[in-house]
């Protein structure tokens, strides 16, 4: 898994001696190459060898001291968006230093490079724009898809991972066109910080098919395609050209789809999911992390999976992805598919989804309740559904801030002793309820996890740690496991193995314990998840790599933010 054109890493592996300009940039060009740049950490010998004499101030600093300086500079930034911009600039200058900072301060910096600040960075993309990062593909120039990847100068064995978005449904903030590049970049940063995916072997991609966001179309500074979203056949053949180019040029790469609209996202997965190494993070990653959460809640409450009653509010990409995985888990716990489906109530804009509901989408259909069970004249809004269905678990993937009102949560708590409340919408301004409120309304009885990071809540002498039910706790390990195993596909079994591994890492012994492992331990937990995923791939016969010592192979595959 040698990195392409990365002098710092080559040197680490003892291949760094005698480099000439033929093998990589020298002089000032070397400082401009973020994967090779060490800045003032270049030793005197390296400065002489690489044509850096007189280019740098004389002192040689260690990575630790550079990280201390960067941390100081970061602290001087005015707000979280400024911190995000600062970190992205560092990312563009010196990747080892960037990841060193990220790995050393994951709980503090994940919210800056990822959710929730990444939402702000997406919205401000064209205004904060400084440098490009990743591959931008335009639907107006499908002939450029292949040359754009070829221009990376990478060979067939050089890429492990491609993260792509078309930016139609970014987090809960909707369509932000080319600004969506920041979600591909942010997801990859998490892959590297959390699971050691090599930053030089991962490619963020923006599939610019236009935008329906009028404000962007009217903004003279907007740097994306200035037309409405293209749909239909042209869209599908653009996506097909992308999949084909990646498959041919980088045959071992895992293809991760992020923040597509529900129609396209599901269709793409149906088309390619069985054929290539690919997954949709919002449907499958979110489904699996939520399953981990519910499995642990079931441990705490003592209510087995098959007895759960689940209300999903917001039956879109994430909501139905979650419903699917919870249903399958109930089936594994002894129910038949029909019984399991009947234990899930999906509520969307139209209220409870019923067979007669107008505008039902195909992926919602399996969860539509029979009309004789819920007559058309019965109220079907969230409070009525909660009141009648008496759920043990309430999932929020609606983007509706405050939708889990005091009434709804109290009504749930009237029927179950320990209600499981999961307001998963991101970023902060979209969350269905804040954990502090949910805990207060239920006298500390609720088990809560959220998509965004939330500080612990103190209530009546107990500290409630809020697990972050964000796919970031799952997809890095899933991806690393698939890469190590060289899995042909991402199977349901691999997702299930990832969910079980994450669930098993949470310490549920204390009152107020989080339902999920702490972000602080994400690197260690991603390795455990990757090991479980790779093993399952081998069991299911989709692993192409020989896995003699999976634990060691996972460790060996994890890139460390260190200079060579």
Ligand X SMILES: O=C(O)C[C@H](O)C(=O)O
Q: Which residues are annotated as a binding site for (S)-malate?
A: 426, 470
Site string for ligand X, 144-183 (x = CB under 6 A): ---------------------------x------------
Minimum CB separation of residue 114 from ligand X in Å reads 6
Choose which of 471, 491, 496, 531 interacts with ligand X (CB under 6 A). Answer: 471
Pick the closer one to Mg ion by CB: 258 or 500.
258
**Phi, psi at residue 361, to the nearest 5°?**
-85, 155
Choose which of 10, 88, 158, 282 interacts with Mg ion (CB under 5 A). Answer: 282
Minimum CB separation of residue 258 from Mg ion in Å reads 5
Pick the closer one to ligand X by CB: 288 or 550.
288
User: Pick from ligand X, ligand NAD, Mg ion, none: which does 262 bind, CB < 5 to 8 A by kind?
Assistant: ligand NAD
Alpha-carbon gap, residue 497 to 478, rounded angstroms = 9
The answer to whether the CB of 266 falls within 8 A of the CB of 363 is: yes
Stretch that binds Mg ion, among 49-57, 255-263, 450-458, 511-519 (CB under 5 A): 255-263
| First-to-last C-alpha distance (Å) of the chain | 15
Site string for ligand NAD, 349-368 (x = CB under 6 A): x-------------------
Sequence-ordered alpha helix ranges (H) in 302-403: 317-332, 337-342, 382-389
Which residues are 396's β-sheet partners? 313, 423
Q: Tell me if 470 contacts ligand X by CB under 6 A.
A: yes
Minimum CB separation of residue 294 from ligand X in Å reads 17
Alpha-carbon gap, residue 46 to 138, rounded angstroms = 40
Alpha-carbon gap, residue 425 to 318, rounded angstroms = 9
Minimum CB separation of residue 414 from ligand NAD in Å reads 22
Among positive and negative, which fits the CA dihedral 18, 21, 23, 28? positive
38 in catalytic set: no
Total number of residues that touch ligand NAD (CB under 6 A) = 29
| 282 upstream amide cis, omega within 30 of 0 | no
Alpha-carbon gap, residue 109 to 87, rounded angstroms = 9
Pick the closer one to ligand X by CB: 305 or 516.
516
Alpha-carbon gap, residue 21 to 3, rounded angstroms = 18
Query: How, if at all, do strands 462-464 and 351-352 pair?
Result: unpaired
Q: Tell me if 259 contacts Mg ion by CB under 5 A.
A: yes
The answer to whether the CB of 302 falls within 8 A of the CB of 447 is: no
Alpha-carbon gap, residue 507 to 529, rounded angstroms = 16
**Largest distance between two CA atoms of the chain:** 82
Q: Tell me if 432 contacts Mg ion by CB under 5 A.
A: no
Total number of residues that touch ligand X (CB under 6 A) = 9
Q: What share of the chain is helix, strand, coil (3-state, %, to 5)?
A: 50, 10, 40
Minimum CB separation of residue 206 from Mg ion in Å reads 14
As annotated, the binding site includes: 258-259, 282, 426, 470
Pick the closer one to ligand X by CB: 196 or 451.
451
Pick the closer one to ligand X by CB: 115 or 120.
115
187 in catalytic set: yes
Minimum CB separation of residue 147 from ligand X in Å reads 30
User: Pick from ligand X, ligand NAD, Mg ion, none: which does 34 bind, CB < 5 to 8 A by kind?
Assistant: none
Catalytic position from the list 187, 191, 363, 430: 187
In terms of C-beta density within 10 A (0-12 exposed, 13-18 middle, 19 or more buried), how is residue 143 classed? Answer: exposed
Active site residues: 114, 187
- Residue ranges that bind ligand X, judged by CB under 6 A: 115, 171, 259, 281-282, 426, 451, 470-471
């Amino acid at each position: 898994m040698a990195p392409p054109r990365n002098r710092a890493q080559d040197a680490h592996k003892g291949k760094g001696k005698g480099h000439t300009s033929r093998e990589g940039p020298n002089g000032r060009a070397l400082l401009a190459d973020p994967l090779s740049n060490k800045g003032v950490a270049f030793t005197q010998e390296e400065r002489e060898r690489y044509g850096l004499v007189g280019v740098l101030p004389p002192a040689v600093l260690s990575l630790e001291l550079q990280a201390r300086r960067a941390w100081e500079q970061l602290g001087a930034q005015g707000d979280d968006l400024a911190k995000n911009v600062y970190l992205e600039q560092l990312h563009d200058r010196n990747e080892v230093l960037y990841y060193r900072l990220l790995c050393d301060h994951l709980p503090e910096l994940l919210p800056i490079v990822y959710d929730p600040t990444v939402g702000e960075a997406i919205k401000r993309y064209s205004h904060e724009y400084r440098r490009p990062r990743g591959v931008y593909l335009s639907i107006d120039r499908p002939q450029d898809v292949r040359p754009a990847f070829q221009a990376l100068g990478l060979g067939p064995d050089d890429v492990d991972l491609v993260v792509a978005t078309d930016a139609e449904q970014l987090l809960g903030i909707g369509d932000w066109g080319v600004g969506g590049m920041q979600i591909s970049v942010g997801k990859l940063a998490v892959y590297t910080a959390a699971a050691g995916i090599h930053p030089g072997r991962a490619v963020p991609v923006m599939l610019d098919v236009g935008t329906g966001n009028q404000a962007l179309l009217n903004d003279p500074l907007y740097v994306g395609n200035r037309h409405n979203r293209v749909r239909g056949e042209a869209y599908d053949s653009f996506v097909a050209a992308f999949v084909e180019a990646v498959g041919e040029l980088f045959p071992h790469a895992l293809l991760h789809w992020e923040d597509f609209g529900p129609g396209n996202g599901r269709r793409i997965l149906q088309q390619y999911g069985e054929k290539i190494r690919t997954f949709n993070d919002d449907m499958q990653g979110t489904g699996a992390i939520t399953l981990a959460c519910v499995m642990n809640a079931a441990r705490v409450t003592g209510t087995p999976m098959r007895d759960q009653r689940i209300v999903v509010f917001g039956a879109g990409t994430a909501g139905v992805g979650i419903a699917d995985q919870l249903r399958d888990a109930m089936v594994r716990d002894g129910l038949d598919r029909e019984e399991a489906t009947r234990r899930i109530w999906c509520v969307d804009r139209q209220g409870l989804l019923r067979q007669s509901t107008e505008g039902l989408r195909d992926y919602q259909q399996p969860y539509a309740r029979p009309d004789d069970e819920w007559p058309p004249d019965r109220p079907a809004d969230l409070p009525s559904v909660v009141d009648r269905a008496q759920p043990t678990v309430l999932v929020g993937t609606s983007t509706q801030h405050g939708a889990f009102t005091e009434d709804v949560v109290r009504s749930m708590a009237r029927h179950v002793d320990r209600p499981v409340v999961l307001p998963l919408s991101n970023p902060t301004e979209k969350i269905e309820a804040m954990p502090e409120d949910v805990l207060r309304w239920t006298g500390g009885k609720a088990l809560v996890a959220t998509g965004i990071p939330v500080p612990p809540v103190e209530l009546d002498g107990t500290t409630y740690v809020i697990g972050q039910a964000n796919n970031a706790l799952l997809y890095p390990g899933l991806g690393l496991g698939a890469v190590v195993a060289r899995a042909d596909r991402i199977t349901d079994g691999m997702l299930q193995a990832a969910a079980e591994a994450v669930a098993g890492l949470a310490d549920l012994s204390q009152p107020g314990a989080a339902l999920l492992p702490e972000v602080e331990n994400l690197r260690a937990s991603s390795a455990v998840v990757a090991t479980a995923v790779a093993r399952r791939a081998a069991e299911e016969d989709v692993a192409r790599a020989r896995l003699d010592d999976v634990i060691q192979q996972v460790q060996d595959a994890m890139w460390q933010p260190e200079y060579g």
